[in-house]
Structure 1
């Protein structure tokens, strides 16, 4: 007698509830893909990372960890609570250190975030340029950096929240070297993000 394989069940997160998913659902829905975000009640899944994206996230994580004052902490790829229907995952965040209290934490409140950094991928371009900055500014995150790959070179767009309007204003575009004084003093060689590839390409 030939057995019949049971049909694969549809994951519970494939069908959103009326009104959309909530921030708490990210901690309870089973088998969500890694780095799932919640934007306006919808689950957002990330595409495989490019090498540039991986190197840029590593670069800013390690560099900012070495430069941040002791009262701040740098965390990569960690969700933040903006409101009931928005729980994005910036690529790198700088947070108030006293908010880190439990190793089992899965998110931080947006009010603890001093800086959010997004490294742009082709599939995240509109979210990182338009959707997320608006939400981060409304959540009163004072600083936002957007990192883009321009022909193999990192370009960083720096924004600061203007208190009177509650919106971000551009405070600089940096190509090879990045020097800023807020949220703390930073002087970075951006060419280091792709330097390994360049050295490998140079003949001996």
Structure 2
């Protein structure tokens, strides 16, 4: 009999396999950032939020085009001491490593080609383009965490209007209360002097 399984045991084993599709089981108090960066075979753009793994759903075309448009605009006049980066993890604390859609970091912190993460202290701007599956995280969870970590500027990008164009809400950190204060809502043109001189035609998404 030794190696055979009963029908009931086989059924139970099968159910367990379906219930656990192979992702690692988190520790009782969640993953730390150190754990996160040693996990193998995670899907691209997985984030660590409050010790839990957050997986990204397939993105809408709007998301891809908005990120591209803003990345190009940010690069146009970026000062020599800053760098524009896309979809890189930012360590906010022991159990948080989100991945903003775009970020501006100091050149001094940019490291070599093997860099996998940045520290919050080295990030000047974080940008989140809202997706249907991540609305609460993009509008609420992440901004609170970015502010608490001291990131000075934050942009929230929404799809609005009959032409489905980007609306960019810009925020600046209130350093005393560690919260963001809105500095403007931009529909057709994003023209700013902080964090540096930026001028982006948001309607240009129609041509992409």
| TM-score under structure 2 length normalisation | 0.87
In the TM superposition, 1:90-109 aligns within 5 A as 90-109=100-119
More deviation, 91-100/23-32? 23-32
In the TM superposition, 1:117-156 aligns within 5 A as 117-151=127-161, 152-156=164-168
Alpha-carbon distance in structure 2 between the residues aligned to 1:35 and 1:20: 19
SS at match of 1:194: helix
- In structure 2, what is the equivalent of residue 200 of structure 1? none
Shift, 1:63, TM fit: 1.5
Alpha-carbon distance in structure 1 between the residues aligned to 2:186 and 2:23: 44
Alpha-carbon distance in structure 2 between the residues aligned to 1:44 and 1:23: 13
SS at match of 1:24: helix
Shift, 1:52, TM fit: 0.6
- In structure 1, what is the equivalent of residue 186 of structure 2? 174
- In structure 1, what is the equivalent of residue 26 of structure 2? 16
More deviation, 86-95/178-187? 178-187
Alpha-carbon distance in structure 1 between the residues aligned to 2:21 and 2:141: 29
Return the match for 2:52 from 36, 42, 49.
Answer: 42
- In structure 2, what is the equivalent of residue 52 of structure 1? 62
Aligned length: 191
> Which structure has the greater CA radius of gyration?
2
Structure 1 runs (4+) deviating above 2 angstroms are 7-13
Alpha-carbon distance in structure 1 between the residues aligned to 2:76 and 2:186: 20
**CA-to-partner distance for each residue in 1:44-65, whole Å, 9 max, x for gaps?**
0001011110011111112211
Alpha-carbon distance in structure 1 between the residues aligned to 2:152 and 2:52: 25
- In structure 1, what is the equivalent of residue 170 of structure 2? 158
Shift, 1:32, TM fit: 0.5
**CA-to-partner distance for each residue in 1:57-106, whole Å, 9 max, x for gaps?**
11111221121101000000000000010000000000000111221111
Shift, 1:20, TM fit: 0.2
Give yes or no for contact 1:154–1:175 (8 Å, CA) kept in 2: yes
Shift, 1:194, TM fit: 2.9
CA RMSD in angstroms comes to 1.7
SS at match of 1:75: strand
Alpha-carbon distance in structure 2 between the residues aligned to 1:95 and 1:194: 29
| TM-score under structure 1 length normalisation | 0.89
